[in-house]
């Protein structure tokens, strides 16, 4: 029998667990789509939990039976990197799954929770700034690519990505 998981709201107290999860996930999974020269400056910034997301009430953790974080992800009304809000649009944010837990429905369960809550808040469309390695995951959830974009990571590096959208 496979270990099970549940999805719950993340809180600011989950910061170290989320950061550890991101660090366990992103370096290996992103290496399949990005050169080391792109990853080296970006990874220290993207493998840290975002305190604003953890406080927002729209970020979630998938935890195993022992309470150990095996996946995370959420959404916001604000476009990542800005305070811009468009009516009826929400943004998928900072999804990750521990590599040893891939293929068990964690990402899909987190996404369903995001969709339910975003729709209840009045959102009718999701946008996602998908890393190149995550484009297939989001396409499997029904997102369609809009075009290539470069996402600024912190004060410096740009991460080639794909803007994707999905009606909810």
Band of pLDDT at residue 155, cut at 50, 70 and 90:
confident
DSSP letters, 35-49, are -HHHHHHHHHHHTS-
pLDDT at 1: 47
Q: Can you give the CATH number for the domain in which 133 is found? A: 3.40.630.30
How many domains does the structure of the chain reveal? 1
**SS3 sequence, 70-93?**
EEEEEEECECCCCCCECCCEEEEE
Q: How far is the CA of 70 from the CAs of 6, 139, 144, in angstroms? A: 10, 22, 26
Residue 158: pLDDT band (50, 70, 90) is: confident
Contact 134, 164 (CB under 8 A): no
- 113-124: average pLDDT: 97
Contact 93, 130 (CB under 8 A): no
44 Cβ partners below 8 Å, 6+ apart? Answer: none
66-108 pLDDT tens trace:
999 999 999 999 999 889 999 899 999 999 999 999 999 999 9
Q: Cα separation of 77 and 72, whole Å?
A: 18
User: 154 or 58: which carries more pLDDT confidence?
Assistant: 58
Higher pLDDT, 158 or 75: 75
Helices (H), the chain: 15-30, 36-46, 51-56, 106-120, 135-140
- Give the pLDDT of residue 3: 65
Averaged pLDDT score across all residues of the chain: 94
168: burial class by Cβ within 10 Å (0-12, 13-18, 19+)? middle
Confidence of residue 35 (pLDDT cuts 50, 70, 90): very high
For residue 128, which of 155, 105, 151 has the smallest C-alpha distance? 151
* Mean per-residue pLDDT, 145-157: 87
Predicted local distance difference test score (pLDDT) of residue 2: 61
| Domain that residue 96 falls in | 5-167
- Averaged pLDDT for residues 43-62: 96
């Amino acid at each position: 029998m496979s270990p099970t998981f549940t999805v719950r709201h993340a809180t600011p107290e989950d910061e170290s667990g989320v950061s550890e999860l991101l660090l366990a996930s992103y370096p290996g999974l992103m290496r399949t789509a990005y050169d080391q020269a792109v990853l080296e400056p970006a990874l220290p910034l993207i493998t840290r939990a975002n305190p604003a997301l953890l406080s927002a009430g729209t970020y979630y953790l998938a935890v195993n039976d022992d309470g150990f974080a095996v996946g995370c992800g959420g959404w916001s009304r604000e476009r990542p990197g800005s305070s811009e809000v468009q009516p009826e649009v929400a943004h998928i944010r900072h999804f990750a799954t521990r590599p040893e837990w891939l293929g068990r429905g964690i990402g899909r369960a987190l996404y369903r929770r995001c969709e339910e809550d975003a729709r209840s808040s009045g959102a009718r469309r999701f946008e996602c700034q998908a890393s190149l390695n995550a484009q297939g995951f989001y396409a499997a959830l029904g997102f369609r690519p809009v075009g290539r974009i470069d996402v600024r990571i912190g004060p410096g590096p740009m991460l080639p990505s794909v803007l994707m959208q999905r009606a909810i």
